[in-house]
Amino acid sequence: MMWLICMMMVVGAEVLDVDMTPEEQKATGIAKLNAKQKAALQHWIDANYEKRSEPIAADEKELRSELEENIHNGAYIRLKNGTLWQIDPNDTNISFGWISAVTIIVTKSNDPDYPYKLTNSLTKSSVKARKATAIPSQ
């Protein structure tokens, strides 16, 4: 049993060593941690956060995530990465028909009130949105 625990600690530490560059490890302080501390940190991260399945493309400045929930007939969209978006009321006639499991592409818009554009990768339809922290009750 002790062998298994030691092996899990080494694997947890290796994940941080592989996923982060030496510069990132130094900048975040992870380089100063021993293998046991790195494993404990990796365990905490794995238990509390979900890794993005599709990272933000640095050159395209976009985020891709699957639609998890369409709330209040398209007034709010929740993505599988945990983000919640309030849709411009003028665009809910587009987002109300979006269904789960489709990939949504998030990019910046030029609208100061709704600074993001959510695009349905299947239908290619887009809506303006802003980040939300909660859904008001109706």
Regarding whether 42 and 76 lie in a shared domain, the answer is no
Percentage of residues in the chain with pLDDT exceeding 90? Answer: 43
Higher-confidence residue of 126 and 99: namely 126
Query: Looking at the DSSP assignment, which residues form a beta bridge with residue 126?
Result: 119
The domain tally of the chain equals 2
Q: Is residue 137 part of a domain?
A: no
Among 29-33, 81-85, 120-124, which is the least confidently predicted range?
A: 29-33
Q: Is residue 57 part of a domain?
A: no
Regarding whether 74 and 43 lie in a shared domain, the answer is no
Tokens linked to 38: 């790195």
Regarding whether 73 and 40 lie in a shared domain, the answer is no
Return mean pLDDT, the chain: 80
Q: Is residue 53 part of a domain?
A: no
Instruction: Sort 25 into a burial class: Cβ within 10 Å, 0-12 / 13-18 / 19+.
Output: middle
- In angstroms, the Cα distances linking 26 to 22, 32, 36, 124 are 6, 8, 17, 42
Regarding whether 74 and 118 lie in a shared domain, the answer is yes
Phi/psi of residue 111, nearest 5 degrees: -90, 120
Regarding whether 68 and 126 lie in a shared domain, the answer is yes
Q: Is the Cβ–Cβ distance between 12 and 42 less than 8 Å?
A: yes
Q: Does the pLDDT at position 60 exceed 60?
A: no
Regarding whether 84 and 122 lie in a shared domain, the answer is yes
Which residue segment(s) compose the domain that 30 sits in?
Answer: 2-48
